[in-house]
Amino acid sequence: MSTADVAVDRGPGGERSRRLTEMVFRMRELGIVLALALLIAVTAILEPRFIHLDSLQDLARNASIIAIMAAGQTMVLLTRNVDLSVGSVLGLSAFFAGDLLSNHHVAIPLVFLLCIVLGIVCGLINGVLTTFGKVPALVVTLGTLYIFRGIAFVYTNGRQINAETLPDKFLNIGTGTVWKIPTIALIAFVVVLIVGQYLRDFRSGREMYAVGSNEDAAKLAGIRVDRRIVTAFVASGALAGLGGALYTARFGTVDATAGTGYELTVISAAVVGGVAITGGVGSVYGAAIGAVLLGCITSSLIVLRIDSFWQQAAVGALLVAAIAFDRLVGLRLDSALRQRSARRA
Amino acid sequence: MSNENEPAAPPRLALAGASKSFGAVHALRDASLELYGGHVRALLGENGAGKSTLVKTLAGVHRPDTGTVLVDGEPVSFHGPIDARDAGIAIIYQEPTLFPDLSVAENVFMGRQPLSAGKRIDRKALHERTAELFRQLGVPIAPERPVRGLSIADQQLVEIAKALSFEARVLIMDEPTAALSGAEVERLFRVTRTLKEQGAAIMFISHRLEEIFAICDQVTVMRDGAVRFSGELEGKSNDDLVRWMVGRDIDTLFPKVDSEIGAPVLSVHRLTREGVFFDISFEVRAGEIVALAGLVGAGRSEVARAIFGIDRADGGHVEMGGRRLPRAKPTAAMRAGIGFVPEDRRQQGLVMDLSIARNATMTQMSELSSGGIIRAARERALASDWATRLQLKYHKLDDHVGTLSGGNQQKVVLAKWLATSPRLLIIDEPTRGIDVGTKSEVHRLISELASRGLAVLMVSSELPEVLGMADRVLVMHEGRLTGEFSRAEANEEVVVRAMTGQKEEMAA
């Protein structure tokens, strides 16, 4: 090929490839946004009260904690690991927050800080066992799922935190609004935005993608792979800790079982939102929209007075559909890219 | 740049008197090599001659037991690939190591992305700088596209762009052309020449001699871990290179027992698998050992796998004792009397966590069991019978097979297949990773089996093994049979010539 060919190809060819790639990267999030819009539209037609302010505020509140935790989970998934312990960390942190406020009268900002620190400690344990212990994350976090929950049971010792013993200012964070937007949703928005910018525009964020995409190549590129994986677990733990404090603020009543089963909802949200369980692919925005979609399914089925059994089945079906869709797009994309390469060569 | 071409300047990268052993294997013996700026050096040698070990030593993957690596004449000590990279050494492997999910630009600059204010990645600069690198290379690859879906050739160019991006002064290409088409090779050569003109020191490894003559200035030939020749390429002929690559005594390592050669057992008719091998026809007779020789990637193992039915052939067919075998059905091949000893015994030949007895008798499970339960006593009896016949060295038959040495593991795999009383045994790399002493035992065993009438098809990359063991040698080059030699005709030069795809006429 001569330089003339090169120049020609850099014109329209380069332009077209840019459009193709951009379209596909958006498509991952686009599909789920469409599904969300469709769900809201159908529900709103069947039951107009669904799009009243109260109802939408409630929807946002329900999705917020899951979205925050899904942001953390996204980082772990990107490095081709998984964090199953987030539900237990949330439970531990939720009771910790309630205990600090009602029995020790600790200042609210300090409560949030301590809950996050608690989450960081849990995440550090997961991360260190996974990287330096060389144990698969699935096993490590399955273990810590039970361990952290067990600690929560010992810690609560059968006690319960009630809303009456919590300061109103704190409860307001979970139930109040700022300019008609629920405070908790604003917090989730800020968290997702920060994590999203970090993963998009910072070297260490991009390195998480690199680690999950090809660990050997990451090592050869001089990336400190272990450190990136530990960072992801610490972030996931920290956000689960924050989620715990917000859980207490939102519901007021907390016992040792708070957040049981959340880990699966959180992972589902991320996967439905286009984060690949095999690492290297996905965005935190997709995961957040996934959280909203899951929350929306729950709410719409309640509004439509459909048996709650269907809710779980619907989430499951959505999960399978999301993965199938992703795989399909992946295959189409692969062959499209290969063909383009072939044509050029 | 020009003064670096003068011999007075110290070499960019050099290896001085380096040796490296893995256990009993001397992979590198007192090897020395120099790379100068603005020159391309070829590294030649058969499989197992020590080329990869040499490359990995320069890449910081291995540390030499003795000897030194020198950068610009100064001794250095690499503690890992990153050290070598920081010293300006870039390696392009046959299979590039890239991030398939990330964009081309991110692959080139991972960990070194240009930053704007606030330590954010400057995406615009990232893409512009990547585009600039590809402009220098003269190839149109869009920086924004993901690496997934790029051809191997394009992926290598991404690796080369990466090397340029950290201003690598030494570029080592390990068989870069093995998976490329003619046009892609041409493009790679154009890029290589550009880099050479810009003053880079380049080392080029290839088995294709015509490529060496097309692009290289100097040549280093290795054999048995040592450098046999090092010097200017000018004035050297194909024959010179081949002679340096081979020319080894076939010692008495191969106790070949004469055997009576009987009727054809296996006949392969025009077997083809698109893009892998084409139009392969040959026969193996009872009592005969047929070696399938060729370079890595020539398609030998693939032919063996297709005969046994692991991979599906697209055309042609296989007959056992005159009966046609169905395609892609290993169970049918087994029933017809084919045993298959795979190349990778740890992954495919054995279940490492099971006992020696269980592994050796695995093909006989239904005969050993009654009512679906394996009778331990019968299993032990059969296993110990085979252990004696093959002179297996073991502690207890209940020990994990992983506790055995490589050679004895191979005997267990052989026992497993011999227990099925096969008429044809296909053995892929019979002695890979086996120490020298046990190697000859495995050879003796195969030779004995053949003398009792077993037909043997042996895939091997080791020329001495091929020449020492085989009654007939078939040679493959790039998916085609390029030579067939009787035991009397076969010698290293003719086989290597066929392996590298050269015609007989060129030899004269």
If you write DSSP's letter for every residue of A305-318 in order, what string do you get?
Answer: T--HHHHHHHHHHH
Residue B86, H or E segment? helix B81-86
DSSP B166-183: TT-SEEEEESTTTT--HH
Burial state string for B175-186 with b = 16 or more CB within 10 A and e = fewer than 16: bbbbebeeebbe
Look at residue A337 in the predicted model and tell me its pLDDT.
Answer: 61
A220 and B106: CB-CB below 8 Å?
Answer: no
User: Chain B interface residues facing chain A, Cβ-Cβ under 8 Å?
Assistant: 81-82, 85, 97-103, 106, 110-111, 113, 115, 119-121, 123, 131, 135, 138-140, 142, 144-146, 148-151, 153-154, 181, 183-184, 187
Confidence check: pLDDT of A345 > 50: no
Number of A/B CB contacts below 8 angstroms equals 115
More confident residue, A194 or B112: A194
pLDDT at A38 over 70: yes
Mean pLDDT of chain B: 82
CB-CB neighbors (< 8 A) of A275 in chain B: none
- Are the CB atoms for B281 and B268 separated by under 8 Å? yes
**B53 vs A6, more confident:** B53
The answer, yes or no, to whether residue A61 has pLDDT greater than 80, is yes
How far CA A41 is from CA of A28, A38, A50, A300, A308, in Å, comes to 21, 5, 10, 10, 20
- Position A9 scores a pLDDT of 38
Contacts of A268 (CB under 8 A, 6+ apart): A290, A294, A315, A319
| pTM reported for the whole predicted model | 0.70
Token pair recorded at residue A80 = 């081709």
SS3 state at B425: strand
Contact B127, B161 (CB under 8 A): no
> Pick from A269, A335, A329: which is nearest to A24 by CA?
A329
Which DSSP letter does residue B276 get?
A: T
pLDDT band at residue A303, thresholds of 50, 70 and 90?
A: confident
**Is B121–A221 a contact, with Cβ atoms under 8 angstroms apart?**
no
B113–A203 CB contact, under 8 Å: yes
Mapping DSSP onto H, E and C, the string for B482-498 reads EEEEECCCCCHHHHHHH
Mean of pLDDT values over A37-64: 83
Closest chain A CA to residue B110: A221
Write out the two tokens for A206: 């991009």
- Between B121, B140, B149, which is nearest A206 by CB? B121
User: Among partner residues B98, B100, B140, which is closest to A9 by beta-carbon distance?
Assistant: B140
Query: ipTM higher than 0.90?
Result: no
pLDDT(B437) > 80: no
pLDDT of B417: 83
**Chain A contact probe: residue of B82, B86, B110 with most A CBs at under 10 A:** B110
Let me know: does B157 contact B136? Beta carbons within 8 Å. Answer: no
Chain A residues with CB under 8 Å of a chain B CB are 1, 3, 5-6, 9-10, 13-14, 17-18, 20-22, 201-203, 206-207, 209-210, 212-214, 216-223, 276, 280-281, 333-338, 340-342, 344-345
Chain B closest-CA separation from residue A315 CA (Å): 27
- DSSP three-state, residue B192: helix
Residue A215 has pLDDT above 50, yes or no: yes
Phi, psi for residue B225 in degrees, rounded to 5: 80, -5
pLDDT at A148 exceeding the cut of 90: yes
| A92 Cα to chain B: minimum distance (Å) | 35
Are B111 and A222 a contacting pair at CB < 8 A? yes
Q: How far is CA B168 from the centre of its chain?
A: 27
Using DSSP's 3-state secondary structure scheme, residue A24 falls into: helix
Nearest to A337 among B98, B106, B148 (CB): B148
From chain A, the residues in CB contact with B82 under 8 A are: 220, 222
